[in-house]
């Protein structure tokens, strides 16, 4: 098992500049975050983007495939990514992303914008969930990927383009978690 540590110098300054609301700066600065995921980008990448954008220190613990059978039974629901925070294990990539951005402008400035952001992220997640990531038969996997990318992706992209309209951002007039989700699904 390998890991890398990512850190930036002044997380408190980011909290000031990001309008962290009622979230105490010490929550960002003093919490020790440990992200656990495979040694790939995948579903943990949105979390890594959020940590980097908010300049939050964390441990990026990468699991090798050979170690997965030993680790799986120790995790909530036997799935990753998992984020350890203050002795608790949070699971589900989008729940973790929402937790990290909840009291920042990245989650939307109003409850309505937060709901709109969630809807866009969940729409993209619905699509990503169609992919047979764990399929062992490479031929089946490739055919399914090709079908999804040629038949299902174009209507989704058209719907997203229609939803976006003439605006620069999906919700509001600023960077939000949708930017991270859109980027991570393209990687």
Q: Which residues participate in catalysis according to the annotation?
A: 37, 43, 133
Start-end of H helices in the chain? 11-17, 25-30, 45-54, 68-71, 93-101, 111-128, 138-147, 153-164, 177-186
Residue 48, φ and ψ in degrees, nearest 5:
-60, -40
- Number of CB atoms found within 10 A of residue 147's CB: 12
- Per-residue DSSP letters for 84-130? EETTEEEE-HHHHHHHHHTTSGGG-SSHHHHHHHHHHHHHHHHHHTT
Give how far Cα 128 sits from Cα of 67, 110, 184, Å.
25, 27, 11
Buried-state track 116-126, b at ≥16 Cβ within 10 A, e below 16:
bbbebbebbee
Give how far Cα 1 sits from Cα of 64, 79, 110, Å.
6, 17, 41
């Amino acid at each position: 098992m390998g890991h890398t540590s990512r850190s930036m110098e002044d997380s408190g300054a980011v909290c000031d500049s990001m309008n962290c609301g009622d979230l105490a700066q010490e929550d960002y600065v003093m919490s020790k975050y440990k992200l656990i995921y495979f040694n790939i980008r995948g579903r943990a990448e949105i979390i890594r983007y959020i940590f980097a954008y908010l300049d939050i220190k964390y441990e990026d613990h990468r699991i090798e495939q050979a170690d997965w059978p030993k680790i799986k039974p120790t995790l909530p629901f036997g799935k990753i990514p998992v984020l350890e925070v203050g002795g608790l294990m949070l699971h589900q990539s989008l729940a973790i992303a929402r937790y990290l951005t909840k009291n920042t402008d990245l989650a939307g400035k109003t409850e309505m914008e937060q709901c709109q952001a969630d809807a866009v992220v969940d729409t993209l997640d619905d699509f990503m969930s169609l992919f047979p990531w764990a399929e062992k038969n490479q031929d089946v996997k490739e055919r399914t990927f090709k079908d999804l990318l040629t038949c299902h992706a174009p209507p989704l992209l058209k719907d997203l383009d229609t939803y976006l309209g003439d605006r620069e951002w999906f919700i509001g007039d600023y960077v939000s978690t949708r930017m991270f989700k859109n980027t991570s699904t393209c990687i």
